């Protein structure tokens, strides 16, 4: 299984490079790596054209987005193209509290599904999901048409939604879906992590 971290987004609302922002002395990217490591044979970090990021380990591959400026869908496409395995766990670099138990549960879903994605009362969580490499052609078509919402993909492939009642047993507070997009959210994340 490949672990893919999407780290190519602009940090415009954040005001600085959020990949390197820290919680309890650990960078957001390291939080993502630590989450994926127990479940992944390889880890790929997808960065934007303008970004520079050195791989923290020889077991981690850093690749540039094939479709720069196309948001998470372009990063997803690039990561799946670079993957050596038929399925990949995909998370955003700004999600420090993704539950390994939830990801593990999703990896155990039958491989007949092209996508396994959590769905809560707040909506679908496409950046905490399992994607099959078989999605590459469908993603490419969306990118070519400039349809950049990952949700557009779900109407064209076989999807298994992980429902709220399933999530509740693995991540009762739904912290897996907590994003750090602003400095206020970074402060909140630090508080949640017990940082003084």
For the domain that residue 69 is a member of, what is the CATH number?
3.90.550.10
Is residue 86 assigned to a domain? Answer: yes
> Is the overall model pTM greater than 0.85, yes or no?
yes
pLDDT tens by residue, 9-67: 655 555 556 777 899 999 999 999 999 999 999 999 998 766 666 777 778 999 999 98
Question: Average pLDDT for residues 150-165, to the nearest whole number?
Answer: 96
Q: Determine, yes or no, domain membership for 156.
A: yes
pLDDT of residue 18: 72
Residue 194: inside a domain: no
Average pLDDT, the chain: 92
Identify the domain containing residue 107 by its residue range.
Answer: 2-186
Domains: count for the chain: 1
Domain membership flag for residue 142? yes
Report if residue 191 sits inside a domain: no
Residues 63/22, Cβ–Cβ less than 8 Å: no
Cα–Cα distance for residue pair 172/76, rounded to 1 Å: 27
pLDDT confidence of residue 195: 77
- pLDDT value, residue 29: 92
Answer whether residue 20 is part of any domain: yes
Q: Helix, strand or coil for residue 135?
A: helix
pLDDT for 10 equals 58
Q: Has residue 104 been placed in a domain?
A: yes
Pairing of strands 159-162, 115-120: parallel
């Amino acid at each position: 299984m490949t672990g893919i971290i999407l780290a190519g987004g602009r940090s415009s609302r954040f005001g600085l490079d959020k990949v390197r922002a820290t919680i309890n002395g650990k960078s957001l990217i390291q939080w993502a790596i630590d989450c994926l490591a127990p479940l992944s044979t390889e880890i790929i970090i997808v960065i934007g054209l303008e970004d520079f990021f050195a791989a923290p380990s020889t077991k981690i591959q850093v690749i540039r987005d094939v479709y720069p400026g196309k948001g998470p869908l372009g990063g997803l496409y690039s990561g799946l193209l670079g993957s050596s395995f038929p399925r990949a766990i995909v998370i955003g670099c700004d999600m420090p509290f993704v539950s390994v138990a939830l990801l593990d549960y999703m990896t155990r879903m039958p491989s007949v599904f092209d996508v396994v994605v959590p769905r809560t009362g707040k909506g679908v969580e496409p950046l905490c999901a399992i994607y099959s490499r078989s999605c590459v052609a469908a993603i490419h078509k969306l990118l070519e048409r400039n349809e950049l919402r990952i949700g557009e993909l779900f109407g064209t492939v076989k999807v298994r939604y992980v429902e709220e009642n399933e999530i509740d047993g693995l991540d009762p507070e739904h912290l897996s879906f907590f994003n750090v997009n602003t400095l206020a959210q970074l402060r909140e994340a630090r508080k949640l992590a017990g940082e003084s």
